[in-house]
Structure 1
Amino acid sequence: MAISTRSPRHRSLPAATTFFLGDRIHFPLIREFLGHMKKYLALFAFAIVAFAGCGPAGPEMGDVTGMVTFKGKPLPTGTITFVPETDGQPSAFAEIQEDGTYVAKTRDFGDGVPVGKHRVMIIAVKDHGPEAPVEAILPLKYSSDRQSGLTADVSKGENIVNFSL
């Protein structure tokens, strides 16, 4: 049973607005707006569910590990980068560990290197502190994938790719 509780202070409210006894307030225009919002929210939720997981799964990957040696000894530092010869494939990289080993990964797809042929570049420098310039450990040619002459052919599964410089 609805009892109007209009008081003089509510006289400025629109005529379509009515108050009911208790905590429920009825605003016809707001109710209509919320009805439309529910439809849009339902469509939005459906779109989210429908398109979830529809993004690219990523390229076919192979696990790549290996060792880099220079003048017969493990290279103790540096970065190795695999640049795919196929357009549209992501590059992969790895930090070379103190024992010369590395495990390659991509920024967007995690561990592994896209399957296919790659040009490889390796950069390694010694840091002598903030006041001194860094010193290149490797000849400059290895810092360019086009000049290094280093390549890797990655297949699906495990790949051990060692570089003796």
Structure 2
Amino acid sequence: MKRQLILLLLAGLPLLGCGPSGPSNVSVVTGLVTVDGKPADSATITFAPVPSGKSSFGRTDETGHYHLVYTTDIQGALIGEHTVTIANEPPPGQPRPAVMVPRQYGKAGKLTASVAANQSNEIDFALSSKMK
């Protein structure tokens, strides 16, 4: 009985460290997306690691705030550099968001961000409707 208890405890050790904080190569990412100073609602934001890796996704609320999700159980994004895309094109038949994100920001390479280790990252995007 004692041996079985020890084996059971040892089997659970690998699970330690994978709790709510998630893996060590992922940090929490939140922020605000605005267009010409107004909150961008219903925008999808994607962080794609450079040069490669699993992307993280989020969606802005009516105040323009977002938080990224790495997996269904892990919040955040991989540590390091990312290309960022932001778009809020509604599907056909759906209402148009109050503040539209210009299409240029939905293309990879227009925006970048760096996710730092061991901290919560607040990364805001102040977008402009003027073409650059």
Instruction: Please report the TM-score for the alignment, with normalisation by the length of structure 1.
Output: 0.56
Tell me the equivalent position of 2:28: 63
Q: Which runs of 5+ in 2 are unaligned?
A: 1-9, 128-132
Equivalent-residue separation in structure 2 for 1:144 and 1:127 (angstroms): 18
Q: Which runs of 5+ in 1 are unaligned?
A: 1-48
Query: Aligned pair 1:141/2:91, yes or no?
Result: no
Q: How far off is 1:86 after superposition?
A: 3.4
2:70 to 96, 106, 124: 106
Q: How far off is 1:117 after superposition?
A: 0.4
Would the aligned equivalents of 2:43 and 2:101 in 1 still touch at CA under 8 Å?
no
1:73-112 matches, within 5 Å, as 73-87=38-52, 89-107=53-71, 110-112=74-76
Residues 1:109 and 1:155: Cα distance change in structure 2 (over 3 Å): farther
**Higher relative contact order at CA 8 Å, sep ≥6: structure 1 or structure 2?**
2
Query: Aligned pair 1:158/2:120, yes or no?
Result: yes
The residue type equivalent to 1:104 in the other structure is L
1:13-92 matches, within 5 Å, as 53=14, 58=23, 60-87=25-52, 89-92=53-56
Instruction: Report the secondary structure of 2:104's partner residue.
Output: helix
Equivalent-residue separation in structure 1 for 2:66 and 2:44 (angstroms): 9
Would the aligned equivalents of 2:40 and 2:101 in 1 still touch at CA under 8 Å?
no
Rg bigger for which structure?
1
Q: How far off is 1:128 after superposition?
A: 6.7
Would the aligned equivalents of 1:59 and 1:114 in 2 still touch at CA under 8 Å?
no
Would the aligned equivalents of 2:49 and 2:78 in 1 still touch at CA under 8 Å?
yes
Tell me the equivalent position of 2:79: 115
